[in-house]
Chain A
């Protein structure tokens, strides 16, 4: 399209850009397909419970990244949603005999989504660090509630949550069955976030991230979009928590602790905020580092090493593993 009759140069630049985008798209599809195959085959090589842990945290980070990476909002309270999802699902599966697992997970997600709406309404008008701090404060209040509420089991945690059955048919106490359920949910959510980000709604979010006053002056009701993004993010974080409760058969105060909110920031940042794959890579990386170190000779040094990773990421790889690779590819391959 060249309505104003500008020289052909502009048109050819546009065409080249479009071609590059197509090539990028193709590359992404291939990459995603390869990853999916890898994930489908992974239980052959890696312990399924561990894989599920990674997937749950990856979903948690993907949810978080929808806010940080695509909307520019740093929530310091996402642990609240993870824990709420987990406790709700855990409670329902433990105390309601007819509850099938998928209903339990849905209920957990729903409650976390509602909580997310509450958080969003109270915090969305705050900017930058104030936003981060309000979400932290709200999450601390949720933490307090979980400490007080008798059904959480306090510091003992909610233990022995039954895994139950899917639709009353598939036995989920089998690790492989559960793995493929978790994988399916994860892939579904990943695609949902991918669609969200590339939809017109996602474009508006990005516009808000880049320049909020401009988005406002363009006539968008910015707060409504931010609230919606927050609610989706909270819901997905809750879903991650619900699945985690089913996988580990427990939910604990650790999930609600502010350190967990910090950890998801680390995962997202290490992988690359604002990229789709980044949080997945970051979660995989952090969960692995933590797990492998805790077993090895550096067992007593996990915290300082994680701290070092934080520092290194911020100083040297601010766009994260995926971000750095993308930049590298653009520069060298185009």
Chain B
């Protein structure tokens, strides 16, 4: 049904756009740039496999839009905003790139979106966590597709406080994203009648967490929240398991954790952890079918970021096809008007601030007994409806939103 609708709308749109429209796909190619960390800390959540996901989308789309060839260029951002900035500039100004996807580290993403805005091209951010990307750093030229720190730090605590986790202790990465998550968690926990009994800001990265885990243990809090990411989170979880945190009755909430992290930890160590995710490979037949193909191509199960890259590339190409244009504003407008309905999201809507709003899921890591395989890791406990999952526009500091009100 939805399929039919999309087809129809795109047919209608293309009829409307007939004449002159074809000329709007500049130089008769749609060029997509994939910029991500290919070799550093964030490699596994997007990285080389994200490029594979993007290429899968293009191939599934047929390799061309209305006779215009779809090409991909890619680069390693080396987690450096300088490298990102010069790469994106060259892509846009010399290589005629129309859309930039991937985008992981917040410094890289913010630098890239500034340049996209200057050149009026489109960016689709799939890897970044920082919710500031559609808040104080929003631009009319990008879309934040998969998840953000706000969604991640709202979902888990809300559910856990309701389940009886009244007192909280937060381990925060001493970085902007950590501080932002700490503030979000505090707000949610207190709003739901819980209490923050303590928090620690630890350096990023911290190799040994035993000291912090010990302090969290001593606090006697019901829940220990990990407002950090990457190796810090996995190290903290490993140490918590070693020090018997969960056996002693405390619960762990990991705020930003990816399938790749949980896979590295294994169910023995990570069991019982609650987390929020934007997508999981083993949710239904559609997700499984796509994940099987992804696994065939890469040897690993996709993270939510990989799925988001596939989905957003698909949406982008559909929009280009429907509008017959690769102009950033035309395409973005089309994408905002047409909800995402695919294996990644049902009825996902792109807001004016660029935030793609879709259902998020509260997951619990399975126990070794429950897990039937290496990648059988999550049990989806609850769906967090789209309108609860993301920061409401009424709280937005985005210039595109405040301007209007």
Contacting A254 at CB < 8 Å: which of B75, B81, B110, B132? B81
The proximity string for B residues 150-172 relative to A, scoring 1 for CB distances below 8 Å and 0 otherwise, is 00000000000000000000000
Q: Once bound together, how far apart are the Cα atoms of A303 and B41, in whole Å?
A: 13
A sample of 21 cross-chain residue pairs with beta-carbon separation below 8 angstroms, ordered by A number, consists of A47-B86, A47-B90, A53-B82, A147-B174, A147-B175, A147-B204, A154-B176, A155-B105, A155-B107, A155-B177, A155-B204, A157-B107, A157-B110, A159-B110, A248-B85, A248-B111, A249-B85, A254-B80, A290-B83, A294-B87, A303-B39
The binding surface of chain A is classed by DSSP as helix
The proximity string for A residues 271-311 relative to B, scoring 1 for CB distances below 8 Å and 0 otherwise, is 00000000000000000001100110001111100000000
Interface residues of B (CB under 8 A from A): 38-39, 48, 73-83, 85-87, 89-90, 93-94, 105-107, 110-111, 114, 130, 132, 137, 174-177, 179, 203-204
Which residues of chain A have C-beta atoms less than 8 A from B78's C-beta?
Answer: 290, 294, 302
Which residues of chain B have C-beta atoms less than 8 A from A253's C-beta?
Answer: 107
Question: Which 4 residue pairs are nearest across A and B when measured between Cβ atoms?
Answer: A154-B176, A157-B107, A294-B76, A295-B75
The proximity string for A residues 218-255 relative to B, scoring 1 for CB distances below 8 Å and 0 otherwise, is 00000000000000000000000000100011101110
B20 vs chain A, min Cβ distance (A)? 32
Which residues of chain B have C-beta atoms less than 8 A from A156's C-beta?
Answer: 106-107, 110, 130, 132, 137, 176
Which residues of chain B have C-beta atoms less than 8 A from A252's C-beta?
Answer: 80-82, 107
Which residues of chain B have C-beta atoms less than 8 A from A301's C-beta?
Answer: 39
Q: Which residues A112-168 have CB closer than 8 A to chain B?
A: 147-148, 153-157, 159-160
Taking a contact as CB atoms under 8 Å apart, the answer to whether A159 and B76 are in contact is no
Q: Once bound together, how far apart are the Cα atoms of A127 and B355, in whole Å?
A: 55
A258 at the interface (CB under 8 A from B): no
A120 vs chain B, min Cβ distance (A)? 27
**Chain A residue at smallest Cβ distance from B34:** A299
B48 vs chain A, min Cβ distance (A)? 6
Q: Once bound together, how far apart are the Cα atoms of A160 and B111, in whole Å?
A: 8
A50 at the interface (CB under 8 A from B): yes
A106 at the interface (CB under 8 A from B): no
Q: Once bound together, how far apart are the Cα atoms of A301 and B78, in whole Å?
A: 11
**Chain B residue at smallest Cβ distance from A155:** B175
Interface residues of A (CB under 8 A from B): 47, 49-50, 53, 147-148, 153-157, 159-160, 244, 248-250, 252-254, 290-291, 294-295, 299-303
Which residues of chain B have C-beta atoms less than 8 A from A153's C-beta?
Answer: 176
Q: Once bound together, how far apart are the Cα atoms of A295 and B77, in whole Å?
A: 9
**Chain A residue at smallest Cβ distance from B107:** A157
Taking a contact as CB atoms under 8 Å apart, the answer to whether B111 and A159 are in contact is yes
Which residues of chain B have C-beta atoms less than 8 A from A49's C-beta?
Answer: 85-86, 89-90
Q: Once bound together, how far apart are the Cα atoms of A67 and B389, in whole Å?
A: 55
Which residues of chain A have C-beta atoms less than 8 A from B177's C-beta?
Answer: 154-155
Taking a contact as CB atoms under 8 Å apart, the answer to whether A300 and B48 are in contact is yes
Taking a contact as CB atoms under 8 Å apart, the answer to whether A47 and B83 are in contact is no
Q: Once bound together, how far apart are the Cα atoms of A108 and B85, in whole Å?
A: 22
B300 vs chain A, min Cβ distance (A)? 15
17 more A-B residue pairs beyond the given contacts A294-B87, A295-B75, A302-B39, with a C-beta to C-beta distance below 8 A: A49-B86, A147-B175, A153-B176, A154-B179, A155-B175, A157-B111, A159-B111, A159-B137, A244-B82, A248-B82, A250-B81, A250-B85, A252-B107, A253-B107, A254-B80, A254-B82, A301-B39
Q: Once bound together, how far apart are the Cα atoms of A50 and B38, in whole Å?
A: 21
A294 vs chain B, min Cβ distance (A)? 4
B378 vs chain A, min Cβ distance (A)? 28
Given contacts A291-B83, A302-B76, contact A249 B89 (CB under 8 A): no
Q: Once bound together, how far apart are the Cα atoms of A244 and B111, in whole Å?
A: 14
Q: Once bound together, how far apart are the Cα atoms of A302 and B39, in whole Å?
A: 8
Given contacts A294-B76, A295-B75, contact A155 B106 (CB under 8 A): yes
Which residues of chain B have C-beta atoms less than 8 A from A249's C-beta?
Answer: 85, 114
Q: Once bound together, how far apart are the Cα atoms of A153 and B137, in whole Å?
A: 12
A94 vs chain B, min Cβ distance (A)? 13
A59 vs chain B, min Cβ distance (A)? 15
Residue of A153, A157, A244, A249 with highest tally of chain B CB at under 10 A: A157
**Chain A residue at smallest Cβ distance from B176:** A154
Q: Once bound together, how far apart are the Cα atoms of A157 and B128, in whole Å?
A: 14
Q: Once bound together, how far apart are the Cα atoms of A70 and B321, in whole Å?
A: 61
Q: Once bound together, how far apart are the Cα atoms of A295 and B80, in whole Å?
A: 14
Which residues of chain B have C-beta atoms less than 8 A from A291's C-beta?
Answer: 83, 86-87
Contacting A47 at CB < 8 Å: which of B38, B79, B93? B93
A208 vs chain B, min Cβ distance (A)? 35
Q: Once bound together, how far apart are the Cα atoms of A215 and B130, in whole Å?
A: 56
A95 vs chain B, min Cβ distance (A)? 16
Given contacts A53-B82, A147-B175, A294-B87, contact A159 B74 (CB under 8 A): no
Which residues of chain A have C-beta atoms less than 8 A from B79's C-beta?
Answer: 254
Which residues of chain A have C-beta atoms less than 8 A from B87's C-beta?
Answer: 291, 294-295
Taking a contact as CB atoms under 8 Å apart, the answer to whether A300 and B90 are in contact is no
Q: Once bound together, how far apart are the Cα atoms of A294 and B94, in whole Å?
A: 17
Which residues of chain A have C-beta atoms less than 8 A from B176's C-beta?
Answer: 153-156
Q: Once bound together, how far apart are the Cα atoms of A250 and B106, in whole Å?
A: 13
